[in-house]
């Protein structure tokens, strides 16, 4: 069980506002901010490289804590500046060629889909997008129809950004493994939110960002690269962190996920993210998930009771992301109104979900994204505001 009083006391932002924008960027606990500040001060006092040497243990803690959260090896984790950089590196390490096919789904994150379109334009790969079913999900068994001799990878977003339905990545992973196709999972919205067990999820790569449900600093992310598959893949760019210069004309790529890392990085951010993951581990991811799910259920029930309000999640299993619209009211206006009352929410833009919102709702919708430190009384207040707007 999560002690709400403690969780809120350790989250200073809670005193001033209602933060229902955790899928954008969550509020950080004290300990995360303190660890970042402490490292920046150390850099100021003794120098950046010298501070790095002193912080070896905290940096090592990043790999250990994430490995614990994801049930994988520390050597399978790379620190990345963002989730986008993580998956781009992973996908391009496959050495794609003209005619290769990538399978993805209709809930794909806009930034990811744009990258795929750009790679398609530059290299000539084919994108095969599986349409979402009426329940907002793709059926794993349908994937078989999309797989062919030219399929090089499957890229699936676990929980979408624009609405919170949860894809069955375990079932998809089983198929990918059976067919021997590289499977990449976007866990940006699910890491720190729901349990992710990499012994059960048969993916080659999984990536996430620090600032959302993990409650880490901005400008941080990670890549999980499974040790059994990593050796096959050559990162598109390397430097002296990812490779060793053996002789004038020879180099060796590092073993493990380190081959995807860069030498230069935001050390304070990495240390802060380590602390954030440690914090999540100490609360327990199953406790976190259960509390978020219970808050989301309350939110949905309360929203659905308001006349003219429609909730847009299509499947029954709840994540902390709840999207809705109110008849006759523009999403942006409602979001602004809530913001003026110190309630942070966000908007899922139709133009960022061309294969999803664009196909059925055809308008922007308001997104509330709840975390375990949110409370029932906050939900009550927000519901009242929405009802009376
Ligand atoms: C589902 C999903 N994937 C990827 C990203 C991109 O993450 P980053 O900004 O760290 O690259 C986001 C960010 O909102 C996201 O929601």
SS3 143: helix
- What is the rounded distance in angstroms from the CA atom of residue 154 to the CA atom of residue 359? 22
Task: Kindly report, as residue ranges, where domains of CATH 3.40.640.10 are found in the chain.
Answer: 30-282
Separation of CA 190 and ligand 1 centre (Å) = 11
Ligand 1 pocket mutation, candidates 84, 156, 187, 215, criterion most atoms within 8 A of CB: 84
Nearest atom within ligand 1 for CA of residue 86: 11
Task: Kindly report, as residue ranges, where domains of CATH 3.90.1150.10 are found in the chain.
Answer: 4-27+284-388
- Interhelix angle for 56-70 vs 267-283, to 10°? 40
Q: CATH classification of 4-27+284-388, choosing from 3.40.50.720, 3.10.180.10, 2.60.120.200, 3.90.1150.10?
A: 3.90.1150.10
pLDDT one digit per residue (tens) for the chain, 389 residues: 899 999 999 999 999 999 999 999 999 999 999 999 999 999 999 999 999 999 999 999 999 999 999 999 999 999 999 999 999 999 999 999 999 999 999 999 999 999 999 999 999 999 999 999 999 999 988 888 999 999 999 999 999 999 999 999 999 999 999 999 999 999 999 999 999 999 999 999 999 999 999 999 999 999 999 999 888 899 999 999 999 999 999 999 999 999 999 999 999 999 999 999 999 999 999 999 999 999 999 999 999 999 999 999 999 889 999 999 999 999 999 999 999 999 999 999 999 999 888 888 889 999 999 999 999 999 999 999 999 99
Nearest atom within ligand 1 for CA of residue 24: 14
Burial class (CB in 10 A: 0-12, 13-18, 19+), 191: buried
Ligand 1 pocket mutation, candidates 116, 209, 352, criterion most atoms within 8 A of CB: 209
Give 183's strand partners.
154
Q: Are 365 and 161 in contact (CB under 8 A)?
A: no
How many CA atoms within 13 Å lie on the side-chain side of 372? Answer: 28
Ligand 1 pocket mutation, candidates 81, 85, 88, 109, criterion most atoms within 8 A of CB: 109
Dihedral of alpha carbons 91, 93, 99, 101, sign: negative
The neighbour count for residue 287, using CB atoms within 10 Å, is 13
Q: Give ligand 1 pocket residues (Cβ under 6 A).
A: 82-84, 109, 111, 157, 161, 186, 188-189, 209, 221
- Interhelix angle for 285-304 vs 267-283, to 10°? 80
Residue 329 has what DSSP assignment? Answer: B
Dihedral of alpha carbons 258, 260, 264, 270, sign: negative
Check: CATH 3.40.50.2300 for 30-282? Answer: no
């Amino acid at each position: 069980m999560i002690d709400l009083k403690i969780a809120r006391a350790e989250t200073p932002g809670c005193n001033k506002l209602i933060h229902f924008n955790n899928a954008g960027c969550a509020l950080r606990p004290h300990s995360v901010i303190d660890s970042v500040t402490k490292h920046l001060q150390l850099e100021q006092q003794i120098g950046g490289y010298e501070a790095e040497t002193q912080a070896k243990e905290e940096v090592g803690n990043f790999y250990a804590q994430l490995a614990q959260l994801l049930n994988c090896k520390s050597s399978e984790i790379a620190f990345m500046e963002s989730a986008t950089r993580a998956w781009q590196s992973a996908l391009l390490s496959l050495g794609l060629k003209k005619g290769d096919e990538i399978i993805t789904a209709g809930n794909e994150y806009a930034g990811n889909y744009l990258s795929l379109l750009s790679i398609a334009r530059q290299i000539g790969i084919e994108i095969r997008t599986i349409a979402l079913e009426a329940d907002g999900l793709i059926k794993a068994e349908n994937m078989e129809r999309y797989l062919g001799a030219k399929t090089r990878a499957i890229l699936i977003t676990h929980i979408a950004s624009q609405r919170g339905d949860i894809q069955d990545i375990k079932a998809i992973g089983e198929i990918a493994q059976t067919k021997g196709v590289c499977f990449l999972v976007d866990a940006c919205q699910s890491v720190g939110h729901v349990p992710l067990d990499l012994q059960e999820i048969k993916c080659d790569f999984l990536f996430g960002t620090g600032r959302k449900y993990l409650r880490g600093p901005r400008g941080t992310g990670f890549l999980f690269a499974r040790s059994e598959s990593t050796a096959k893949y050559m990162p598109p760019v390397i430097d002296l962190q990812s490779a060793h210069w053996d002789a004038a004309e020879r180099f060796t790529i590092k073993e493990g996920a380190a081959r995807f890392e860069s030498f230069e990085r935001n050390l304070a951010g990495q240390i802060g993210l380590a602390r954030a993951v440690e914090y999540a581990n100490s609360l327990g991811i199953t406790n976190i998930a259960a509390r978020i799910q219970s808050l989301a259920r309350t939110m949905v029930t309360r929203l659905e009771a308001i006349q003219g309000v429609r909730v847009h999640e299509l499947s029954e299993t709840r994540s902390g992301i709840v999207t809705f619209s109110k008849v006759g009211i523009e999403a942006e206006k409602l979001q602004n109104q809530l913001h003026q009352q110190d309630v942070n929410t966000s908007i899922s833009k139709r133009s960022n979900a061309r294969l999803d919102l664009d196909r059925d709702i055809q308008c922007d919708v308001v997104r509330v994204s709840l975390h375990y430190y949110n409370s029932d009384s906050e939900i009550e207040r927000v519901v009242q505001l929405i009802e009376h707007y």
